[in-house]
Amino acid sequence: MSVQTYDQSDDSGPWSDQEKYVYRDPDTGQDHHLVIKQVNGQIDPKTGKAKKRFIQLHNPGGEPLHLGTPFEQTNWKRGAPEEFVLWDAPEVIKARDILHVEGEGVAILLNEKLKEAGLYGDMVATTSPGGAKTWQLYLAEAYRGKYVYVYPDWDQDGYDYAAAVAADSKSSGALVVKIVELDGQGPTHDAKDWLSRDGNTIEKLIEKHRFASAWTPAWKPSLWQRSKAIPTWKHGDEPPKPVSMLIPNRLTETGVNVISGQWGTGKTYIWIDIAGSVMLGIPWLGEPVYRRGGVLAFTPEGGASISMRLAALIEHKLAKIDDLVIPNKLPFERALACPTLMEDADALEVMVATALDAADRFKAEFGMPLAMIVIDTVMAAAGWDSEQNNAEAARVWAIARKLSEQTGAVVVLIDHLGKVEDRGMRGASAKEDSSDVILSCLGDRTSEGELKNLRLVIRKFRDGDRGERFGYELKLVDMGIDEHAKPLTQRVVNFDPTLPIEVVECTKKKLPESTKLMLEAVVGIVWPTPLDTLRMAHKRVYRAHGKDANGDGERTAFFKALKALDLRKYQSPEGIEMVDETI
């Protein structure tokens, strides 16, 4: 049974008829109304299936549908009828057992299977038109005195629909009402999907009627709820696996790694040095590269200088390695823009798309994967309201981790150290907590502002060794002349085991007692902090060391340490005296 239907289109493209379902009057068996399923060839991102919609026509005068007749030439009207009827309604009236499903296609398949098994007649599958949200109480009158088995689709609408059908069936006088959950399903799946799986039959489906519990108003889904459980690793299923490494004891293969450092310690030169090893598959700091691949950089801070810095690395360091062949092109890309992570709702989506484009090119041109994504610096990319806010820091790090998960590359964040090196990265503590690896670039600044004793310290390495130190220098190299005949220079990282790598600590330069007490007091402080809060923490430490916390000595020591550690006092708009690190 079919009719010619009118042309349908909307903003998402032309629609075409896919299926037509004729509902029949339960008493006369005549055509009652028509449901037309239409598709437009596009994919619904929520379901992963083709987009669909449903058109309804009804028959107010009892006129039958005629094959090939345009509906405009009949008395059939566009729109739903005043009252719906059930699918296969004349057979529903005669049957004892009702299998109520969602969707005409599911009901048709189940009835075909019931006929093949010789069960159709006493048992009939049915549905109601219009989807999960158009069920009507009066339809349940047909279920009086019957055994009703409701099969929910595995989504919230499907379970709401099943619960409504079950409740109305019971109140309308059905003898037995059960909601039958099918195992092994997932979102958008139904009884039709279940029957399509190997080994599942209509007989096995009906067998589940015996084990389903009778519906009560207190009924709640069980299998569907459990389908939301997070997958777990189970001991004994497979041998234990160590964390995969990009460079063992240096960088993980995936996850969030951080290079932090004071201004002037060459953080950008460090990651470019790592990138050279990753792209060419050569050791870095004495460790092999396990996964040679391409590098993508998001550089909202100082991005224009990256090409020259990479050229300096190639010309003045990599080219001098014996027997190393350097191709004319390396698998390196720099994004010409970077979304603001805390402000742009699609920041992750944009970065993933950029990374996947780069990955496709690396694979096509170089036969390599995308191995490393760099964000330099995270402060410039984040768009913080407050760098000291742990919730904001955790959100930015979570975006970085999702970027790694969706691209298969390690994400390396470039960040600043705080004024007090022992406290780690500047701002919220969530930064360090959320990082898998932290490589810290340290140096001792002279009174003239020059950095001496540069060293790279493995500050954190989850499940690995930490504390290893490597001395380095930022070697100035000649890069020719510019268009104005002025000399061009750049720097490359030169790791040298002969360089001193001592850390300036109390053993080298004894700190004043007031400074040591303040360093103890600021542990756990989130900046900025009220002056009174820091003062109370200082008093507790002062008292713990057997000193009089109420005398002038504590006050003098407190303000002396503020100055020594370059901590800044200011007044908030609310008039509260605050203390912060000097940025």
pLDDT tens digit sequence for 350-399? 999 999 999 999 999 999 999 999 999 898 899 877 767 888 889 999 99
pLDDT, tens digit (0-9, with 9 covering 90-100), for 558-574: 888 887 776 778 777 77
**Strands of 469-481's sheet, edge to edge?**
332-335, 294-298, 370-376, 410-416, 256-261, 437-445, 451-461, 469-481, 487-495
Same domain, 67 and 103: no
- Cβ proximity of 15 and 81 under 8 Å: no
239 found inside a domain: no
pLDDT, tens digit (0-9, with 9 covering 90-100), for 389-416: 888 889 999 999 999 999 999 999 999 8
Same domain, 73 and 92: no
Between the CA of residue 270 and those of 305, 390, 435, what are the distances in Å?
Answer: 14, 27, 18
Task: Report the CATH number at residue 428.
Answer: 3.40.50.300
Higher pLDDT, 497 or 201: 201
Question: What pLDDT, on a 0 to 100 scale, did the predictor assign at position 190?
Answer: 83
507 found inside a domain: no
- Cβ proximity of 430 and 393 under 8 Å: yes
- Cβ proximity of 498 and 487 under 8 Å: no
Pairing of strands 410-416, 256-261: parallel
DSSP letter (8 states) at residue 4: B
Same domain, 322 and 450: yes
Residue 335 and residue 328: Cα distance in Å, rounded? 20
Residues 6+ apart with CB under 8 A from 335: 296, 297, 298, 299, 354
Q: Quickly count: other Cβ atoms within 10 Å of residue 556's Cβ.
A: 11
- Domain residues for 59? 1-82
Q: Quickly count: other Cβ atoms within 10 Å of residue 381's Cβ.
A: 25
Pairing of strands 97-100, 147-150: parallel
What is the H or E stretch that residue 274 is in? helix 267-280
Residues 6+ apart with CB under 8 A from 286: none
Same domain, 68 and 208: no
13 found inside a domain: yes
Listed residues 434, 464, 495: the one ending a domain: 495
Q: How many domains does the chain have?
A: 4
pLDDT, tens digit (0-9, with 9 covering 90-100), for 165-208: 999 999 999 999 999 988 765 544 788 888 888 889 999 999 99
Task: Report the CATH number at residue 147.
Answer: 3.40.1360.10
Residues 6+ apart with CB under 8 A from 480: 487, 488
Same domain, 326 and 445: yes
Listed residues 195, 226, 257: the one ending a domain: 226
Same domain, 359 and 437: yes
501 found inside a domain: no
Q: Quickly count: other Cβ atoms within 10 Å of residue 208's Cβ.
A: 16
Is 80 exceeded by the pLDDT of residue 340? yes
Residues 6+ apart with CB under 8 A from 46: none
Same domain, 345 and 416: yes
Same domain, 34 and 101: no
- Cβ proximity of 530 and 576 under 8 Å: yes
What percent of the chain lies above the pLDDT cut of 70?
86
Is 60 exceeded by the pLDDT of residue 67? no
569 found inside a domain: yes
269 found inside a domain: yes
- Cβ proximity of 414 and 376 under 8 Å: yes
Same domain, 143 and 272: no
Same domain, 404 and 519: no
Is 50 exceeded by the pLDDT of residue 153? yes
Question: What pLDDT, on a 0 to 100 scale, did the predictor assign at position 523?
Answer: 63
Residue 455 and residue 421: Cα distance in Å, rounded? 13
Average pLDDT of the chain, as a whole number? 84
358 found inside a domain: yes
**Helices assigned H by DSSP within 288-346:** 306-316
Amino acid at 139: L
Listed residues 30, 49, 82: the one ending a domain: 82
Same domain, 94 and 206: yes
- Cβ proximity of 248 and 289 under 8 Å: no
Name which of 140, 211, 150 is nearest 170 in CA terms.
140
pLDDT, tens digit (0-9, with 9 covering 90-100), for 32-55: 888 888 888 787 766 667 788 888
Same domain, 94 and 68: no
pLDDT, tens digit (0-9, with 9 covering 90-100), for 534-544: 888 888 888 88
500 found inside a domain: no
